[in-house]
Amino acid sequence: MNNTISPEKTSWMLVSPLAFILGLFLVLPILIIIMVSFWDYNEYNFFPAFISENYDYLLTSKVTLDTYLKTFKFMILVWFFCTFIGFTVAYFLAFHVRTLPMQIALFLLCTIPFWTSNIIRMISWIPFLGRNGIANSTLISAGIIDQPLEWLLFSDFAVVLAFVHLFSLFMVVPVFNTMMRIDKSLIEAARDAGASGFQILTNVIIPLSKPGIMIGSIFVVTLVMGDFITVRFMSGGQSTSVGRVISNEIGLLQYPAAAASAVVLLITVLIMITIMMRFVDIRKEL
Amino acid sequence: MEPRSRSFYVLVVFFGLFVLFLYGPIFTIGVLSFQGPNGGLTFPMNGVSTYWFHDLFEQQAVGDIWGSLRRSFVLGLMVMVITLVVSVMGGLAFRNKFRGSSVLFYLVIISLTIPSILVSLGVGLIFNIVDLEVHWTTSGLGSQLTWTLPFGLLIMFAVFNRFDKSYEEAARDLGATPWQTVRHVVLPIIAPSLIGVALFGFTLSYDEFARTLLTAGSDNTLPLEIFGMTTNVTSPVLYALGTLTTVFSFFVIGTFLLIAVLLRRRQTGAGTDAGKGMV
Amino acid sequence: MTKENNKVTVSRRSVLKGAAATTGAALGAGALGGFPTIWAQNIKNVTLRQFGTGVSNLNDVATKVKEDLGFTLKMTALDSDSVAQRAATQPKSFDIADIEYWICKKVWGAGNLQAMDTSKIKNYDKIAGTFRSGKLTPESEIAQGTAPHTVGFVEGPGSKKFADNESGWMTLIPTIYNADTLGIRPDLIKRPITSWTELLNPEFKGKASILDIPSIGIMDAAMVVEAMGEITYGDKGNMTKEEIDKTIAIFIEAKKAGQFRAFWKTFDESINLMASGEVVIQSMWSPAITAVRSKGIPCVYQPLKEGYRSWGGGLGLSANLSGLELEAAYEYINWYLSGWVGGYLMRQGYYSAVPETSKKFMTEDEWGYWFEGKAAKGEIKTPTGKVLEKAGAVRDGGSFYERMGAVACWNSVMDENKHMVRKWNELIAA
């Protein structure tokens, strides 16, 4: 190896495969989507043109507004539950489980369900929540209710439940990671200074876990914003989301319309991510 | 050892409920996969049998489960290897500041956060416009890499954040070339974390759906096949597959764990504790 | 199909293409007079890639093709959106497209399919009249919508213009078709259902469902709205903007009132909704009824006084097919119409395009039950051998002529398609 290569050149060489792959399969596709969003289409084809009709309709339609409001509603609810669950679980693993092997074992226990296909895990909620499903029959036989609860399935409740089920691990992992880096002596110091367990939690652990929570939030928010299949399955096709609109447009061969929706969605997501990134320096906090 | 506080037990219960929540559907799947031959995808059970497990290994009325499983497995391995190599290279590169590093870093973040269906759409459009045939080993592979590489790279950031540079300096002081330092000092120390990268790469690819949707071409990967099955196969064979997948996952994770333990043991023998604390 | 097989296939295909190019025109000319013996061996090496919905892309068919014809047929089953998508945008990914007529209307213009020479179709004359003149029997009236014969022919090879007569150049060779209506759970409804209006009857609040494929869903919606007397459509298959707006408005109102339990998009969802009792009345497809019943759950494909909404599917040839592969494709189509597949599909509740050839592949009792609408003499079984009906059962809706004779409209694509899809999205978002 020749020592005269500058560190910068070495770095460039090392990142070139990464840059190549992202250039080809990320940057180029985004540029194409932007380009196609101005194209025109008919029933079976799309062709070069420069029209703003796709955006005109998108930005003035009431459906777009409703869809975004609905998607935001899902996002906020899912984020709230994922954060609460993710933080609590990570807190338990990081501070209450005492040995590393036990921590790893319990952590892996949480990850195993994620190996079964998302789609299978999602549709398996249906027999559980259905009108004659396990949940309803258990509640009825326990005498808690006498009519099956209709809102358990094919409802916004079902959508949020499935999302939380699918994505909570994306919060657990980064929060757990951050918590493992908290210097235990800080907690000892706080305790010695007379802080209660609750005070330690709010004044030491939560502030120090913020980067992990932010990273987890970025995952959860983007996953929910881009989803198109959970909403369809769990709402019984009765609810909509931005991703679902795009996937429907693709399904109906309206590629330029889908591209326009995609551009708007991308801008929305990037704005949200930019805001969230202001609170955390991902590179330092990992 | 201090005694457990009351909050500990509250948290144990919470954690237990969380695990139950995660495994609940898996459990439902497990039970329903033992449906009788006339049973459906929903309760009530229509007899108990292992019929659907046998059926899984027969030819289905439509589609090809085992072919798609094989494809997903091969694709997962391809993604795994590329992710591993490219992430390690990227991780090493990002240890130094270089011009363009922040642009590239933001690209990585965009790659991670862009809604998957956009990648699918964009790559599909490119192949369509330049009149290339989409195939899971080309367009499919590339689309999946936009998902796995950011994860791999972020894990490498985490690894190098915890990396004690004094080992490298020591090696350099002893006259090692940069390549020798990487090969004989850095790589062995970060090896256990590389298992994490590999595992992530494989898992994310194996379960990837949206990015492959418009880029897999005429042969389905397993998640696409499962999606296809939900559109026309009305049998608990889907659940039998889910149950087997879970059992298989326990097996694979066990294997990876074993490798990690063995590697760690070898390292402990060699007198280093680096890589500790990484999951 | 194993991966290893695929690899072999690919190399064989390319070799074959080379061979076809060198021998070229001579063979092509010879082909018109039947299959030269020199090909009998070669054809075994051909692989044709077919795609379509799970309805007819059955592995059993591929197995039988291998057995009877010797070449390999590779099936890919997709949902109906993906089917249209692939036919329109991925011409290289298939050799044979198994699509519906309304999809054909949409994608023919993309130029990815080639017209077929009817003189090479042996059973052409026996194909049901619906697909040729448009009339099932000489007295029949032609229903609204994209009736198959209107997009069944083009003016010549390479033409993109549909012909209004039997021009000799067919776009799709009809394979299966059926008359769709509402499916109901008689055990949960407990009273006779006779009209499409029942779908929006508040009695079934929270227990109704409609399918979420805009082009088909809008037709079911139109059947309901017309039956309610709210709108009399000029042509349900080609509505005006006002008609679309009003139809959707009525459905949005019903949706907001909680009429629907779900909107289903895939065949399988409709089965689960019905089997689990989530829904008691919904748009449904015939084999889905069959599937619910084979689980021992009562389910009726209710004939309604306003008639059926009908659909038909067929096989189209990729424009890329030529030489030996094209001949293999014709041979496959001739085999398809020769009865075995028809018999198989008719025992699932569809109709074959050439009913009389299918008869040979069904028992007399099966033919009586499925086609003639007679009471079953013994047990009626599915093609896979599951018992479906006991002796004495009669098919819902009766005979072939009763059912296909009462078609009110065909699945279609409207001129206002873009507008319709947007309004449909409003319904879903409402």
More confident residue, A158 or B183: A158
pLDDT band at C204 (very low <50, low <70, confident <90, very high): very high
Tokens standing for B170? 């020591």
- With contact defined as beta carbons under 8 Å apart, do C347 and C362 qualify? yes
Question: What pLDDT, on the 0 to 100 scale, is given for residue C2?
Answer: 32
What digits encode the pLDDT tens for the residues B103-130?
Answer: 999 999 999 888 888 898 899 888 888 8
In a domain, B39, yes or no: no
Q: How many helices (H) and strands (E) does chain A have?
A: 16, 2
Q: Please list every residue in chain B whose beta carbon sits closer than 8 Å to the beta carbon of residue C77.
A: 62-63, 228, 231-232
Residues 6+ apart with CB under 8 A from A12: B93, B98, B100
Q: In chain A, which residue's Cα lies nearest the Cα of B97?
A: A8
Please state, in angstroms and rounded to a whole number, the distance separating the CA atoms of residues A218 and C300: 49
What digits encode the pLDDT tens for the residues B16-68?
Answer: 999 999 888 888 888 888 888 777 777 777 788 888 888 888 777 666 788 88
Q: In chain C, which residue's Cα lies nearest the Cα of B220?
A: C76
Q: Closest to C277 (Cβ–Cβ): which among A66, A131, A254?
A: A131
Please state, in angstroms and rounded to a whole number, the distance separating the CA atoms of residues A34 and A20: 20
Q: Closest to A236 (Cβ–Cβ): which among C262, C418, C429?
A: C262
Taking residues B179-199, report their average pLDDT. Answer: 84
pLDDT more than 70, % of chain A: 97
In a domain, B168, yes or no: yes
- Helix or strand (DSSP H, E) at A225: helix A206-226
What digits encode the pLDDT tens for the residues C391-407?
Answer: 888 998 889 999 998 99
Residues C262, A245: C-beta atoms closer than 8 Å: no
Q: Closest to A240 (Cβ–Cβ): which among C265, C269, C428?
A: C428
CA distances from B206 to B72, B202, B253, C424 (A): 6, 6, 14, 35
Q: Please list every residue in chain A whose beta carbon sits closer than 8 Å to the beta carbon of residue B15.
A: 89, 92-93, 106
C-alpha B264, offset from chain centre: 22
Q: Is the pLDDT at B272 greater than 70, yes or no?
A: no
In a mutational test of the C interface, the residue from B129, B219, B224, B234 whose CB has the highest number of chain C CBs within 10 Å is B234
> How close A286 gets to chain C, by Cα (Å)?
39
In a domain, B167, yes or no: yes
Residues A226, B114: C-beta atoms closer than 8 Å: yes
Q: Which chains touch A (3 or more CB pairs under 8 A)?
A: B, C
Question: What pLDDT, on the 0 to 100 scale, is given for residue B279?
Answer: 40
- With contact defined as beta carbons under 8 Å apart, do B244 and B226 qualify? no
Tokens standing for C293? 């019943």
> How close B228 gets to chain C, by Cα (Å)?
6
Other Cβ atoms closer than 10 A to C253: 12
What digits encode the pLDDT tens for the residues C323-372?
Answer: 888 999 999 999 999 989 999 988 888 899 898 899 999 999 999 999 99
What digits encode the pLDDT tens for the residues C46-81?
Answer: 889 998 877 777 888 888 999 898 888 988 877 777
Q: Is the pLDDT at B276 greater than 90, yes or no?
A: no
For A275, which DSSP code? H
Q: What is the ipTM of this complex?
A: 0.85
Taking residues C248-270, report their average pLDDT. Answer: 90
Please state, in angstroms and rounded to a whole number, the distance separating the CA atoms of residues C32 and A262: 50
Place of tokens 């869903």: C217
E strands, B29-155, in order: none
C-alpha A112, offset from chain centre: 19
Q: Closest to B233 (Cβ–Cβ): which among C75, C268, C275?
A: C268
**Touching check for C262 and chain A: CB below 8 Å?**
yes
Q: Closest to A26 (Cβ–Cβ): which among B25, B86, B107?
A: B107
Question: What pLDDT, on the 0 to 100 scale, is given for residue C9?
Answer: 34
pLDDT band at C31 (very low <50, low <70, confident <90, very high): very low
Other Cβ atoms closer than 10 A to B248: 12
Question: What pLDDT, on the 0 to 100 scale, is given for residue B269?
Answer: 57
Please state, in angstroms and rounded to a whole number, the distance separating the CA atoms of residues C395 and C376: 9
**Touching check for A133 and chain B: CB below 8 Å?**
yes
**Touching check for C81 and chain A: CB below 8 Å?**
yes
Question: What pLDDT, on the 0 to 100 scale, is given for residue C21?
Answer: 38
Coil vs helix vs strand at C351: strand
**Touching check for A253 and chain C: CB below 8 Å?**
yes
Which residue, among C141, C298, C363, has the nearest Cα to C371 in the 3D structure? Answer: C363
More confident residue, B130 or A220: A220
pLDDT more than 90, % of chain A: 34
Tokens standing for A196? 């209660």
* Domain definitions of chain A by residue range: 62-285
Question: What pLDDT, on the 0 to 100 scale, is given for residue A42?
Answer: 77
What digits encode the pLDDT tens for the residues C37-55?
Answer: 445 567 778 889 998 877 7
**Touching check for C66 and chain B: CB below 8 Å?**
no
Q: In chain B, which residue's Cα lies nearest the Cα of C292?
A: B40
Taking residues A75-91, report their average pLDDT. Answer: 95
Residues A63, C429: C-beta atoms closer than 8 Å: yes
Residues 6+ apart with CB under 8 A from C396: C289, C300, C301, C302, C303
**Touching check for A150 and chain C: CB below 8 Å?**
yes
Query: Domain span at residue B173?
Result: 79-233
> How close C413 gets to chain A, by Cα (Å)?
9
Identify which of A30-39, B211-220, B270-279, C292-301 has the greatest average pLDDT: A30-39
CATH of the domain at B175: 1.10.3720.10
In a domain, B183, yes or no: yes
In a domain, B156, yes or no: yes
Please state, in angstroms and rounded to a whole number, the distance separating the CA atoms of residues A113 and B249: 8
What digits encode the pLDDT tens for the residues B127-179?
Answer: 888 888 888 889 999 999 999 999 899 888 888 888 888 888 888 888 888 88
> How close B36 gets to chain A, by Cα (Å)?
16
Q: Is the pLDDT at B228 greater than 60, yes or no?
A: yes
**Touching check for C384 and chain B: CB below 8 Å?**
yes
pLDDT band at C281 (very low <50, low <70, confident <90, very high): very high
Place of tokens 């499903």: A133
More confident residue, A155 or A116: A155
Other Cβ atoms closer than 10 A to C156: 12
Question: What pLDDT, on the 0 to 100 scale, is given for residue C333?
Answer: 92
Please state, in angstroms and rounded to a whole number, the distance separating the CA atoms of residues C281 and C202: 12
Residue B187, CB-side half-sphere exposure with 13 Å CA sphere: 12
Q: Strand C169-170 vs strand C116-117: parallel, antiparallel, or unpaired?
A: antiparallel
Q: In chain A, which residue's Cα lies nearest the Cα of B16?
A: A89
Whether omega for the bond prior to residue B44 falls within 30 degrees of 0, making it cis, is: yes
Phi, then psi, of B34 in degrees rounded to 5 = -95, 20
More confident residue, C10 or A157: A157
In a mutational test of the C interface, the residue from A119, A244, A253, A261 whose CB has the highest number of chain C CBs within 10 Å is A253
Place of tokens 């299966």: C176
pLDDT band at C429 (very low <50, low <70, confident <90, very high): confident
- Mind listing the domains of chain C with CATH numbers? 3-171+311-337 (3.40.190.10), 179-307+406-429 (3.40.190.10)
Task: Tell me the sheet residues that pair with C154.
Answer: C162
Domain A62-285 has CATH 1.10.3720.10: yes
Place of tokens 């090879």: C157
pLDDT more than 90, % of chain C: 36
Q: Please list every residue in chain C whose beta carbon sits closer than 8 Å to the beta carbon of residue A56.
A: none
**Touching check for A252 and chain B: CB below 8 Å?**
no
- Domains identified in chain B, total number: 1
Residues 6+ apart with CB under 8 A from C126: C337, C354, C356, C357
